[in-house]
Amino acid sequence: MANVTVVGAQWGDEGKGKIVDWLSERADIVARFQGGHNAGHTLVIDGKVYKLSLLPSGIVRGGKLSVIGNGVVLDPWHLVVEIAKLRDQGVDISPDNLMIAENAPLILPIHGELDRARENQNSVAKIGTTGRGIGPAYEDKVGRRAIRVADLADETTLEARVDRLMGHHDALRRGLGIEPIDRAALLDALRAIAPQVLPYAKPVWKVLNEARRAGKRILFEGAQGALLDIDFGTYPFVTSSNVIAGQAATGTGLGPGAIDFVLGIVKAYTTRVGEGPFPAELHDDDGERLGARGHEFGTVTGRKRRCGWFDAVLVRQTCATSGVSGIALTKLDVLDGFKTLKICVGYDLDGVRLDYLPTAADLQARCKPIYEEMEGWDDNTAGARSWAQLPGAAIKYVRRIEELIQCPVALLSTSPERDDTILVTDPFAD
């Protein structure tokens, strides 16, 4: 059976939650493979709104196994709160349908404190983090001092991990003017949360490999977008994990051969939250109109998103680095009513035309968009479920995007509702 990886192909907020939820009907397992609770997914199902930031989108569907892989950094306190909120909305969550990798590293309160203290330093350029401790938790993971889910089950190991952590963090905290870690309080908090987390802990790599051999369909769910990837994003204004599709294998314990189709989620225009370069950003009425029509505010932070025209250069680049098989184009309906649309087809860097975004931050900041104009449409595309329901100009716009990014459209989303989707190529087709 085919397995599908879903990744954001811009700066996040592309509508992955709806697409993953829509695809999960065809899947047996939905697995998150990176990020933390800094990436929000909003699902609208039969008029009911679900807001997720850590749990896989498949959790709202009955009969599916949802998995949080080892590539995710897990805030156990947030996990408990998010589970409780969804249960209040009638969603059944138990160890029967939710599994957490035993080797997933934990986000602790000290990580959030460090994250916020760094971001508030006036002498350092802001990265635009959510302040939820994601970056510091990943630092501890690669620094070999993280506390992992399995450590919660063993008191001796837990204390040793906390002591190692304190040896590093207390020095940092002194430099930032933060009080030293209260060892007893931290251990007490971990002991208290452990019984609420450990029932979900499993060897995810083993379960997923067995499921694959049994012919189960697995849907790998990424968070954020490829332009926030720690290696291939607009560094340093990026997240602290690999976001591109290759991480689906590393972040769950399955080999790369398990991935049969990579679906890149792409918004019909471009948005970004936080700091960093954005060549096609608009500072005019068109930008305000895109933001208002698209309800462009972050699910997690509530921050207003920066808006701009579709940037084909960036999406072509992310489709290459993630090996995207086909894209899901979302929010086409937001463009309804624009008389003229623009697509960024290249960059002007000090008089030189580029067909890619350069790596150096100073060069990225100097890139100016080169636009191609297209005719807009007055008809309504919202809720369309077939090509025949789309205006001719909208179809031309979609086809031009395919040409420019060198990747076909597999799905077209025309509203937040689950069924307002045009299927061109089924990613799960064998």
Q: Which residues are part of the catalytic machinery?
A: 13, 41
- Tell me the H-state helices in 131-198: 134-142, 155-176, 183-197
Using DSSP bridges, classify how beta strands 326-330 and 409-413 pair: parallel, antiparallel or unpaired.
Answer: parallel
Rounded CA gap, 40 and 224, in Å? 8
| Cβ atoms < 10 Å from Cβ of 214 | 9
Using DSSP bridges, classify how beta strands 409-413 and 306-308 pair: parallel, antiparallel or unpaired.
Answer: unpaired
- Going by C-alpha positions, the residue among 422, 301, 382 that lies closest to residue 51 is 301
Cα distances (angstroms) measured from residue 333 to each of 62, 267, 325, 416: 30, 11, 24, 10
Rounded CA gap, 260 and 256, in Å? 9
DSSP codes joined into one string, 348-384: EETTEEESS--SSHHHHHH-EEEEEEEE---S--TT-
DSSP letter for 52, please. Answer: E
- Going by C-alpha positions, the residue among 225, 275, 222, 269 that lies closest to residue 249 is 222
DSSP letter for 334, please. Answer: G
DSSP letter for 163, please. Answer: H
Rounded CA gap, 412 and 420, in Å? 9
Contacts of 156 (CB under 8 A, 6+ apart): none
Rounded CA gap, 197 and 179, in Å? 28
